[in-house]
Amino acid sequence: MRLQAKINDAMTAIDQQYGTAFQPDEELQNALLLHIYPLMLRLHYNLQLDNPIIEDLYTRYANVFNISISFVQYLQDNEDFIITKDEIGYVAMYFAASLEKERNQKFRMYKKSVFCVQVVRVLPIS
């Protein structure tokens, strides 16, 4: 199975499991693809990256970290490699960024709604 299809399937499964909406986020899919392909090469050559902020990520973003663990488990299915906690932390950063982007978009829509309501109240009634 191609890596992109595997990522897409894993994101669909994550969305079903956690009630999220990661799968339509093409920016997230591309970022994960660009990260996971070199990750697979590192695993093949038994190279590991240390994540200096792993404990902070795990503490501050426990939910996102759990989502990332599930995502990685879907990727590891039927494969003979194990992705380390440090690497899962890097994957978690992509999911956290996606959630933050979604939150900011909702906040901007809310601000526009409030602004429109305020403008309507300011207009004189004839």
Q: Give me the residue spans of the domains in the chain.
A: 3-101
Q: Would you write out the chain's pLDDT as a tens digit for each of its 126 residues?
A: 699 999 999 999 999 999 999 999 999 999 999 999 999 999 999 998 899 999 998 899 899 999 999 999 999 887 888 899 999 999 999 999 999 998 887 666 655 555 555 555 555 555
> Any idea which fold 3-101 has?
PTS-regulatory domain, PRD (1.10.1790)
Q: Label residues 85-119 b or e (16+ Cβ within 10 Å = b).
A: eebbbbbbbbbbebbeeeeeeeeeeeeeeeeeeee
Reference 91, options 7, 1, 5, 6; nearest CA is 7
Token readout for 88 is: 């899962």
Model-level pTM?
0.79
Reference 91, options 21, 12, 34, 15; nearest CA is 34
What lies within 8 Å, CB to CB, of 1 at 6+ separation is 9
